[in-house]
Amino acid sequence: MNNRNNINITPQNIKGIMWGLSVVILFVIAMAFIKPWYNVWSQEMEGKAEFAKAEQNRKIRIEEARANLEAEKLNAQAEVERAKGAAEAIRIENGSITPTYIQYLWVRQQSDLSNKTVIYVPTETNLPILESTRMLTTQVQK
């Protein structure tokens, strides 16, 4: 018989193959025991990371609430100061608000309107121009 395959199977080759298979089998068995422990450790690390993130978010919300509280306190102090200024202005006016002073305040308020054009034309009856023509249109319809 003519052997076409030149494979030399010697006891040393068989011994090497057996060691290789033994290492692979031991690796598979080790992974079967190590993987559950790794999964537990991995879940623990994820839990710690989520807890740290939640803690950081809580601290951020607390700081935002403190900032809002401080802003509200400052707004309240500003409102008190505005009221004191108004009370002082009334006291200077001898305790009475005159119609002229009210008109002055209204005109001053109009300057706070940004990007709007307001034309103030005082009339005899303090009615806006659009209202002053209303009587003319009702008379024409009769």
Asked if residue 88 lies in contact with residue 80, where contact means CB atoms within 8 angstroms, the answer is no
- Which tops the pLDDT comparison, 137 or 91? 91
Q: 């009210």: which residue's tokens?
A: 102
Query: Which stretch of DSSP H or E encloses residue 34?
Result: helix 11-92
pTM exceeds 0.85: no
pLDDT above 70 covers a percentage of the chain that reads 68
Q: HSE of 19 in the Cβ direction (CA atoms, 13 Å)?
A: 6
Amino acid identity, position 105: L
pLDDT tens-place string over residues 21-62: 999 999 999 988 899 899 999 999 999 999 999 999 999 999
Taking residues 4-25, report their average pLDDT. Answer: 85
